Structure 1
Amino acid sequence: MNQENQFQGRTIIDKEVSWDKTQVIMSKTNAFGIIEYANEIFIDVCGYEDYELMGQPHNIIRHPDMPKVIFKVLWENLKAGKNFHAVVKNLAKSGRYYWVITDFEIAKDENGVIVNYFGRRQSVPQEVVAMHIEPLYKKLLQIEGASGVEFSEKYLIGFLEEKKRSYVEYIKELILEHEKAQSKFSHSEEEEEDERGFFSRLFNK
């Protein structure tokens, strides 16, 4: 997608990180997105040592191919205390990429103030990314480059209105269609499974 060769001092390499996609990447940040914990698979996949990650903003792994509007919507939901399942392309220390879908638990203090975010990330089927996510994100990036985040958000809203889906519903539908095509999930199960149940199953919760 993005043709930049350098980003945040790293050479961008258009190759995927090789990792065990049965594993769940986990991290904990404070309310401002500063990393306080990363599990072993997070460290293995992103290529940073734990001491390099602690105290850093989570966007240390942000890939330049990611539209800003996706993070805008994600953070609006998290700050409102709502979980949000976003498909994200991350940038490893090596300059390679890896795609994940997010899941969050939000911790609050006794006054209801958010103090921590616990993030879980699972792999996304490559066919879903290539056929649906990358074309959409490329379009959003182009709009951001020409007209800014305000208009990429307007485009995203219009895109989802046409689909008659929220962003999360759209992502769920794409993954379910992929599972059905792979015969991993029956049609009757698909009809019965609600959004909460779907993402609980996806993240083995």
Structure 2
Amino acid sequence: MWKKGNADLEIGQQDGAHQVASRKLSQTITATGVERFFDKNEIIVSKTDLKGNLTYVNNVFLRISDYTEAELLGQPHSLIRHVDMPRAVFKLLWDYLQDGKEIFAYVNNFAKNGDNYWVLAHVTPSFDDAGNVVGYHSNRRVPDPEILTNTIIPLYKQLKDIENGDKSRKVGLQKSEQKLKEIVADQGVSYDEFILSL
């Protein structure tokens, strides 16, 4: 999940290798270029509090990510965010959730050793009995590899290039958000319809 503020992960490149640093775990993950897969009948499940800190992870999550439950609980979900993911996608995800809406998104994640794995995430707010949002729940399935190759990976590369192409992170994010809106509008559909039509 995308988080605002200083608790978000520092993302960058060092000596040409992709890296992501977590302040809480004080570790660096370097991309290996090796992709991991999970079975199409499996579902990765996680729950977070309102700040995006993990409160529950299932065994599929633990197996694919190579983390232990003790390592993950209390950590920001963004711990597993792959450096190649455009921030605009997480901004959109956060906006939907803040509005109390569900969202579907293709997400590239890091395993503990730097391998990556793609998911089609369905993220929803969790409500208490009074209707207040108390956290977030995410179910992630195996995405269609053709959709990744033909649509999502090129789209995300374009958005990430836009974000990296501006000296200002804020302006880069705004330009990337605008491009995503234009691409979806050109299809004559909403973001939800665009993702579900793939």
**Which bin holds the TM-score, normalised by the shorter protein?**
0.7 to 0.9
1:110 Cα offset (Å): 4.4
State the match for 1:6 in structure 2: 19
Deviations 1:78-120 (A, max 9, x none): 1111000011011111101111111134222344321121110
Unmatched segments (≥5 aa) in structure 1: 175-205
Match of 1:70 among 68, 89, 111: 89
1:169 aligns with 2:188: no
TM-fit CA distance, 1:171: 1.7
- Contact 2:104/2:122 (<8 A) preserved: yes
Structure 2 portions without partners, runs of 5+: 1-12, 22-27, 167-171
What TM-score results when the alignment is normalised by the length of structure 1?
Answer: 0.80
1:130 matched to 2:149? The reply is: yes
Give distance in 2, aligned partners of 1:5 and 1:29.
26
Map of 2:65 onto structure 1:
46
Matches within 5 A, 1:94-173: 94-147=113-166, 148-173=172-197
> Does 2:74 correspond to 1:61?
no
Q: Say what the alpha-carbon RMSD is for the aligned residues.
A: 1.5
| Counterpart code for 1:159 | I
| CA deviation profile, 1:23-50 (whole Å, cap 9, x unmatched) | 0000111111110010000100111000
Shift of 1:159: 0.8
The ranges of structure 1 where at least 4 consecutive aligned residues each deviate by more than 4 angstroms after the TM superposition are none
* C-alpha distance in 2 between matches for 1:5 and 1:38: 26
Bigger Rg, structure 1 or 2: 1
1:80 is aligned to 99
Render the CA deviation track for 1:140-173: whole Å, top value 9, x for unaligned: 0010011310000111111111111222211211
Q: Amino acid of the residue matched to residue 138 of structure 1?
A: K
Matched to 1:4, the amino acid is A
In structure 2, C-alpha distance between the alignment counterparts of 1:165 and 1:92, rounded to whole Å? 34
Q: Distance in 1 between matches of 2:123 and 2:83?
A: 23
Query: Residue 160 of structure 1: SS of its match in structure 2?
Result: helix
Q: TM-score, normalised by structure 2?
A: 0.83
Which amino acid is the alignment partner of residue 152 of structure 1? S
AA at the equivalent of 1:164: G
Aligned AA for 1:52?
Answer: E
| Deviating more after overlay: 46-55 vs 8-17 | 8-17
Is residue 2:106 matched to residue 1:93? Answer: no
The percent of aligned pairs where both chains have the same amino acid is: 38
Q: Choose between structure 1 and 2: higher strand proportion.
A: 2
